Amino acid sequence: MYGKKVKLRLLFLSFIFLIVVLSVFLILKSLEENVVYFNSPTEIKNLPEIDSKKRIRVGGMVKEETIKLNQNQIRFVITDFKNEINVTYSGAVPNLFSEGKGVVAEGYLKDRNFFNAKKILAKHDENYMPPEVKEALEATK
């Protein structure tokens, strides 16, 4: 089999590797709050206290039939199918922003139910298909 030196090197390398993996894991774990790109409405609901001056991101689905356009303001509801949050925003929205699709809103919390967005990002899912296939899928529903 392999010599003593090979085993020793293997042991030493595994040791370094494990220590670095463990450190990376601990760092990511302690920074989890910052590693996540957005919070869900449920996480917002469960916040111990809200800071209305801190810029945060809320993400989820745009609830069906909730987009309302005023003169220069757009209102909609972000849902994670457990909790909801009302969002107001004035400005341009990305092309993929629509009802029933994913969205990430960046801005400030007014309270646990109202969010004032400064920026809207569309989040799309992992499904890719031609329009005809989508229509066929809808038809069979």
Partner 1 sequence: MLKNFEPNKIFSITSKAPKYILFIFIIVISIGLLEALIISPEDYIQSHSVRIMYVHVPSAWISLGTFSTIAILSFAIIIFKIKSFVLIAKSLAPAGLVFNIIALVTGSIWGKPTWGTWWAWDARITSMLILALFYIIYILAWRIYDGSEKVDKLTSLIAILGAINVPIIKYSVDWWSTLHQPASISIFSKTSIHTSMMIPLTLMTAAFALFSILIFLMKYNTELIKIKNKGLDRL
Binding residues for partner 1 (CB under 8 A) = 2, 6, 9-10, 13, 16-17, 20-21, 24, 28, 32, 35-40, 59, 93-97, 101, 104, 119-134
Can you tell me the distance from the alpha carbon of 1 to that of 75, in angstroms, rounded to the nearest whole number? Answer: 70
Residue position matching structure tokens 């085993």: 7
Single out the residue of 21, 29, 50, 32 nearest to residue 115, CA to CA. 50
Give the residue with the Cβ less far from partner 1, 77 or 103: 103
How many other β-carbons are positioned within 10 Å of the β-carbon of residue 113? Answer: 14
Instruction: Let me know the angle formed at the C-alpha of 40 by 39 and 44, rounded to the nearest 5 degrees.
Output: 75
Residue whose CB is less far from partner 1, 67 or 93 = 93
- In angstroms, give the least distance from the CB of 123 to partner 1: 6
Sign of the four-CA dihedral 114, 115, 121, 124: negative
Nearer to partner 1, 49 or 132 (CB): 132
Q: Which residue is listed with tokens 């799309």? A: 124
Question: Could you tell me the smallest distance in angstroms from the CB atom of residue 102 to partner 1?
Answer: 8
When the beta carbons of 23 and 73 are compared against partner 1, the nearer one is 23
Question: Please, what is the minimum distance in Å from the beta carbon of residue 78 to partner 1?
Answer: 13
Judged by CB, which is closer to partner 1: 58, or 109?
Answer: 58
Q: How far is the CB of 79 from partner 1 (least distance, A)?
A: 15
Q: How far is the CB of 37 from partner 1 (least distance, A)?
A: 4
Q: How far is 80 from 62, CA to CA, in rounded Å? A: 9
